[in-house]
């Protein structure tokens, strides 16, 4: 009775114990997950400045970069991959730009540091990192780069 009073008169959800903690559940079986596709998204943020050549004015953005990964399988614990594993790969990329003038960072010392080019370079570098560190991990499908809360560019695998 006290349990119903604490829950606004409703019976507790079947997966939640009377103490309010989640009960351990089993991972999906191979058969259960066979018809599913899994997507994992990781975001990172950095502040940096750039300018468009030849006479563009230097200006600063608070960039947001998101990497999206997919896979057709999960591991025995029911995970695509540990968030930390792919988050670390993205953080390595983002840290290259923190509080920097992007025009001075290769390859942007030779090419325009447009949102499209920055996203494409991050995409390429993440693909290389995945191949080296997580060869059997998820597949990178896109990198989205926001230069402002309302403007972004997305680079996707073909």
Question: How would DSSP label each residue in 126-154?
Answer: HHHHHHHH-TTSPEEEEEEEEEETTEEEE
Question: pLDDT digit string (tens) for 48-104?
Answer: 999 998 889 999 999 999 999 988 876 676 766 667 888 999 999 999 999 999 999
Query: Can you list the domains of the chain with their CATH numbers?
Result: 27-156 (3.30.479.10)
φ/ψ (deg, to 5) at 74: -120, 160
Residue 3 has pLDDT above 50, yes or no: no
Cβ atoms of 142 and 156 within 8 Å: the answer is yes
**CB < 8 Å & 24+ apart, contacts of 118-126:** 118/63, 118/145, 119/65, 119/143, 119/144, 119/145, 119/153, 119/154, 119/155, 120/155, 122/65, 122/67, 122/93, 123/155, 123/157, 125/93, 126/67, 126/89, 126/90, 126/93
Query: What is the overall mean pLDDT for the chain?
Result: 84
Q: Which residues lie closer than 8 Å to 72 by C-beta, 6 or more apart?
A: 36, 37, 38
Tell me the percentage of the chain whose pLDDT exceeds 70. Answer: 73
Residue with tokens 């409703």: 10
- Beta-strand pair 151-156/139-148: antiparallel
| Per-residue pLDDT, 15 | 52
Nearest Cα residue to 105 out of 51, 43, 44: 51
């Amino acid at each position: 009775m006290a349990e119903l009073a604490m829950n606004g008169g409703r019976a507790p959800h079947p997966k939640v114990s009377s103490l309010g903690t989640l009960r351990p559940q089993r991972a999906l079986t191979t058969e259960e997950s066979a018809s599913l596709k899994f997507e994992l998204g990781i975001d990172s943020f950095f502040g940096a400045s750039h300018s468009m050549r030849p006479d563009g004015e230097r200006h600063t953005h608070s960039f947001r970069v998101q990497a999206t990964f997919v896979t057709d399988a999960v591991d025995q614990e029911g995970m695509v991959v540990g968030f930390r594993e792919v988050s670390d790969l993205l953080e390595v990329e983002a840290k290259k730009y923190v509080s920097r003038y992007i025009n001075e960072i290769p390859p942007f010392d030779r090419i325009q540091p447009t949102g499209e080019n920055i996203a494409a370079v991050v995409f390429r570098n993440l693909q290389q990192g995945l191949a080296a560190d997580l060869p059997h991990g998820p597949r990178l499908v896109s990198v989205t780069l926001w230069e402002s809360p309302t403007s972004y560019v997305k680079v996707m695998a073909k």
